Amino acid sequence: MAGIYLHIPFCKRRCIYCDFFSTTQSGQTDRYIEALCAELEQRKDYLEDEEIETVYMGGGTPSQLQEKHFEALFDTLYHHYSIRLDAEITIEANPDDLHPTYIRMLRHFPFNRLSMGIQTFNDATLSVLQRRHNARQALEAFWNCREAGFGNISIDLMYGLPGETLATWQADLKQAVTLHPEHISAYHLIYEEGTPLWKLREQHRVNEIDEDLSVNLFTELIHTLKNAGYEHYEISNFCLPDKYSRHNSSYWTGKTYLGCGASAHSYNGTSRQWNIASLEKYITGIENHKPDFEKEELDLYTRYNDFIITSLRTMWGMSLTRLKTGFGEKLYDYCIHLATPHLQQHTLQQTGDFLKLTEQGIFISDSIMSDLLWVED
Ligand code: SF4
């Protein structure tokens, strides 16, 4: 079983921290959706007739699309792909797009999961980040989606924001838990090079929070959400029982996926490829049947490194049987040798066939994963 990701790059305006591929050129939307449908058709054999278990429309801002765009995309998807009846079909949405009429329109399509980019309920911080919505709009959007029948809602939060304190983060978490969404993703703000936020930091107009506070915020996140009944199933992801993001879990468990649209990535088990991150070049490439993408064949060591990074992120951890059968004795011994100090320091633990991060290990997950990676001499 496989997944399909569709990248919708249009945003009404750019948030200052964002380094995703997105554009404010909404005048190109019709042409882009035509190209996206054409790409879905051109690449219908990429997944070799595997059944589609998840479809994810991400961005950018998919909630900038109109009804005719969703009609075209779903017609193409259901015409060329075998999509399971119980497939998870997610749309990412911006709270201020989610007016009752827009939500009702979405309900006419097969979406059964909605992921809302809330980030924080603090209006002053939302305005610094140049998000389009405020806290009131986020709350109204959430309840309107519930009322319209969305029974599986994920919200995105960010922490480590400029001016953040333990108290402001606690307030965000309290509000999030009150909404009781099925799924919460929480990411630490990253100052990505080249973004307006990065420049503001360079000019000393915003300050990055210190390391100790970062650790405290992460600790607070884990404790608050666990106490509220959420499972911490991946470093940045929490859910109510059985409400995992099936789409994202498929990335972490090595399933194949097709990514269509500008900048979208695809993976078929032996290679990965990514489309050009340019609206015009993407569209003309598809229109001329000369898609503009790069491709990397994955050798054993790259696949081993991917396996370490993706599997250790999750609460299920890394299967030792998969490690041995998929990568051979040499890499198995290499991994166990490097994991042993972490097992002794209780930052990794073995449970049955699985090696996984301990509660302590989650805080240093990057360095543990990097210790286990294969590095050429
Ligand atoms: S809405 Fe999302 S994709 Fe668009 S600029 Fe903001 S963070 Fe980036």
CB 162 near ligand 1, within 6 Å: no
Long-range contacts of 274-281 (CB under 8 A, 24+ apart): 275/7, 277/21, 279/9, 279/23, 279/25, 279/28, 279/32
CB 64 near ligand 1, within 6 Å: no
CB 18 near ligand 1, within 6 Å: yes
Output the pLDDT for position 376.
Answer: 80
Whole-model pTM over 0.75: yes
pLDDT of residue 59 exceeding 90: yes
Distance (angstroms) between ligand 1 centre and the Cα of 259 equals 19
Distance (angstroms) between ligand 1 centre and the Cα of 31 equals 21
Question: What's the whole-number mean pLDDT along residues 288-298?
Answer: 97
Pairing state between β 271-275 and 265-267: antiparallel
CB 209 near ligand 1, within 6 Å: no
Output the pLDDT for position 377.
Answer: 72
What pLDDT, in 10s, does the model give residues 305-364? 999 999 999 999 999 999 999 999 999 999 999 999 999 999 999 999 999 999 999 999
**260-262-264 Cα angle (round to 5):** 50
| Intra-chain end-to-end CA distance of the chain, in Å | 37
Q: Regarding the domain with residue range 2-251, which homologous superfamily does it belong to in the CATH classification?
A: Aldolase class I (3.20.20.70)
Question: What's the whole-number mean pLDDT along residues 119-140?
Answer: 95
Each domain of the chain, given as residue ranges in start order, spans: 2-251, 300-372
Question: What's the whole-number mean pLDDT along residues 94-118?
Answer: 97
pLDDT band at 121 (very low <50, low <70, confident <90, very high): very high
What pLDDT, in 10s, does the model give residues 162-199? 999 999 999 999 999 999 999 999 999 999 999 999 99
CB 20 near ligand 1, within 6 Å: yes
CB 59 near ligand 1, within 6 Å: yes
User: How far, CA to CA in Å, does 280 sit from each of 64, 125, 287?
Assistant: 19, 34, 10
Atom from ligand 1 closest to the CA of residue 92: 2
Instruction: Mark 294-326 as b/e (b = at least 16 C-beta within 10 Å).
Output: eeeebeeeebbbbbbbbbbbbebbbbbeebeee
Output the pLDDT for position 111.
Answer: 98
Length of the chain: 377
Atom from ligand 1 closest to the CA of residue 22: 3
Mutation test of ligand 1: which of 10, 17, 22, 26 has the most ligand atoms closer than 8 Å to its C-beta?
22
Please choose, from the candidates 328, 338, 365, 132, the residue with its C-alpha nearest in 3D space to the C-alpha of residue 236: 365
Atom from ligand 1 closest to the CA of residue 9: 3
CATH of domain 300-372: 1.10.10.920
pLDDT band at 62 (very low <50, low <70, confident <90, very high): very high
CB 22 near ligand 1, within 6 Å: yes
Residue nearest to atom 5 of ligand 1 (CA): 14
Atom from ligand 1 closest to the CA of residue 17: 7
pLDDT of residue 99 exceeding 90: yes
